[in-house]
Structure formats: structure tokens, C-alpha cells
Amino acid sequence: MKKMFALVSACALALSLTACSGGGSAQAPNNNNAGKGDSFPNETITLVCPFSAGGGTDIGARNMATALSADLGVNVVVENQTGSGGWVAWTDLITGDYDDGYTIGLINHNFVFGELDPENPRDYNLDDVQVLCNQVVDYDVLAIRANETRFTDIDSFIEYAKSNPILISAQATGITDGESTKAEWFNKTFGTQITVIPVDGASDSRGMFLAGDTDILFGSISDVNTAYQNGEMKLLCQFAEERSEFIPEVPTVEEATGEKLVAFAARGYFYPNGVPADKVEFMTNALLKSMERSDYIENMAALGLELDNTSGEAYAELLNSQMETRLSIWG
């Protein structure tokens, strides 16, 4: 009996320890670099990912944590604090006491457009954070199924969509959502009749599209590239300034139709406003340096993501860049 109890409690203890440490077991830190150069980080650094484990943002953050940990010689862990499309984590980071620079947040476009959300207007915008640097830029594309017969290129699609209802899926129906914004832009610019079905995530969108429940797919290059290369989807256009190196044969929407729309997702890192300027500078440089590591570049390339290292003011501008477009589209 006593043995049993000892076993159970030992098990419990061991497990709670794994549970506590597991979330952060990003890679054993190599301590060679500790103590050399600037002494800023000497404790564990936390990257707060506002989305769930296994998502694109999370995997990007984990790659970054590994690289950063190897560079700085301290543990870097990813903590997933999910909820309300990221706003639980963002609100906590902005309102809480995280001024010591050991907690870094992840930021994306959802943050920028949060204050425009008609149902749940958010209280914070880019003025409430100090952005450090970007990590990834992922341009959007318009995809159709490989066996689609009703339309084969952008012109025939627009022609078809003018007189027939078209269904797409998106994660929200308003200005905060990139897919809905593109649908609205098509409707306003070309007089198409695109209706949006709200779904929970990008993978739901792909499922409904493959099943034929929706007619076209607005997705990002990283989402659709494999299916495109396998011949399961065709890409009609990309919403980029110039053609992406991943899909150089697909025209931009401007080349295809003469009308310009740039749409992309960008995600990177930020500090709360209270973190002192020297730490902001230190961490920005540390992140930029980590992004030059060859193992990091290799791992990120496997994900099919376009790397980007815009930092500081320029990164804030990048995040803000689609604001005007969206405001004008939605009037």
C-alpha cells in the first residue's frame, strides 16, 4: 500500500515537473555564449504566441526560439496563450508588468485591424507597443480547383462571377479579415457576386474548397503551394507587388486585370511600451542576427514561407500598410 502511494506520488511529481518544463523545453541552451558581450539576457526569455500550438505562427516562433536560444545562450521558450483571436495574450502583454524585456510578444495584422472590428472594437493599436522586427511575409493568392470547368483564368472567372453567385470561406466577414476584404474588393471593382461563409480556420477553408462547397479559395502562398505543385489547384493570380519567387509563373492581380490590390500576412515580434530603449535595440539586433543562422533559414524554408527582416519603424509601416486599402474598400 505504501509502495503504491509512493509510486503514485512520485509519478505525479515527475509529471507535473515535465508539464511545467515541457512547455519550455525548446532546446538545451548552450552556455558558451553566456557572459560574453552585452549581459542583458541572463534568464529565460518567453515568446508569447497568441495562437495555439502547431499553427503557423507557433511553428515560426519555435524556430525562432531555437535560433535565439543558441545565439544568446539562455533558454528561450514559447508560451501559447490563446483566446479571442490573439487579444487575450495581447491585452495581457500591454496591460501587465512585462517591462524587464524577458517577455516578447508575437504580432500580426489582426492586431492592427482590431480597433476597426465592428462587433468587438479593441482598445489597443500599434501606438501601444514597440515593434521589434518582422519574421515572415506570406502573400495571398486566388486559387481554383484543378478540375474547374466554369472558369479557367481570371477574366473568365470575373465574367462568370458577375452573373453567378460565388461562395468563398473566410475567418470573419468584415474589414478585419483579409479574405473578406478581397471578396469585397472584387465585388466593388468588378461587380462580382461573392458571398463569404465564416469558418474557424484556414484548414476548414481548404477542406470546403476541395469538397466543392466553396467555389474559389483565397489563401496564402504557404497554404496552397504544395497543392498547386501537386496539380490539385490552379492559381489565377497573386496579390503581391511583384511575383513571388515561389510561384514566378503566376501573374499578379495587377498584371492580370489592370487593377491593383496587395494583400499579405506578416508576423513578427514586439515589446510592450514600458521596455527601455536599450533593451529594445538589443533584442531587435538579436532577433535579426538569429534570422541569419543557416539552420533557421533551412527550417523555415521547409515551411514554404518567405522570410522578411523588416524592423523598427519600417516594420510598423509594413503592418499598417494595408490599412488605407482596407478602409477605402469598405468605405
Partner 1 sequence: MLEYLSAAIASFASIEVLLALTVGVVGGMVIGIIPGLGPSVGIALLLPISFSMSPTAALVMMTAMYTTGVYGGSITAVLCHTPGTAASAATTMDGYELTKKGRGMEAISVVTVASVVGGIIGAVCLILFAPALGKISLMFSCLEYFLVACFGLLVVSGLTGDNQAKGFFSALLGLLIGCVGMDSINGVSRFTFGQLWLEDGLDSTPILIGLFSISQVLVLVDKLLRGSSSTIVDDPAAGLKGKRWEKGNGKKLAPTMMRSSVIGAFVGFIPAAGCSIAAWISYSIAKQTSKNPEEFGKGSIVGIAASEASNNAACGGALIPLFTLGIPGSPVTAILYGALLMHGLQPGSGLFTGGKAVTTYAIFLGFLFANVLMGIIGLTMAKQMARICLVPNSVLVPIIVALACIGTYALSNNMMEVVIMLAFGLIGYLMKIFEFEPAPLVLGVVLADILESNFRRTLIMAAPKGGLIPYFFSRPVAIIIVLVILGFALAPFIVKAVQKKKA
Binding site for partner 1 (CB under 8 A): 1, 4-5, 8-9, 11-12, 15-16, 18-19, 22-27, 52-56, 58-59, 62, 65-66, 78-84, 87-88, 91, 117, 119-120, 165, 167, 172-174, 195, 197-201, 203-204, 206-208, 210-213, 225-227, 229-230, 232, 299, 302-304
Toward partner 1, which CB reaches closer, 148 or 255?
148
Helix axes 277-290, 56-72, angle to 10 degrees: 100
Per the CB < 8 A criterion, the answer to whether 132 and 277 are in contact is no
Toward partner 1, which CB reaches closer, 135 or 311?
135
Per the CB < 8 A criterion, the answer to whether 186 and 216 are in contact is no
- What is the spatial distance between Cα 126 and Cα 128, in angstroms, rounded to a whole number? 5
Toward partner 1, which CB reaches closer, 46 or 311?
46
- Helix (H, G, I), strand (E, B), or coil: what is residue 40? coil
- Least distance to partner 1, CB of residue 213, Å: 5
- What is the spatial distance between Cα 196 and Cα 21, in angstroms, rounded to a whole number? 42
Toward partner 1, which CB reaches closer, 167 or 262?
167
- Least distance to partner 1, CB of residue 262, Å: 25
Number of H-type helices and E-type strands within the chain: 12, 10
- Least distance to partner 1, CB of residue 79, Å: 6
Q: Which of 240, 251, 265, 247 is nearest to 179 (CA)?
A: 265
Toward partner 1, which CB reaches closer, 117 or 159?
117
- Least distance to partner 1, CB of residue 233, Å: 10
Toward partner 1, which CB reaches closer, 26 or 263?
26
22 Cα distance to chain centroid: 24
- Least distance to partner 1, CB of residue 116, Å: 12
Biggest CA–CA distance in the chain, Å, is: 79
- What is the spatial distance between Cα 151 and Cα 34, in angstroms, rounded to a whole number? 60
Toward partner 1, which CB reaches closer, 172 or 247?
172
Element (H, E) at 60: helix 56-72
Per the CB < 8 A criterion, the answer to whether 58 and 78 are in contact is yes
Q: Which of 206, 223, 205, 325 is nearest to 238 (CA)?
A: 223
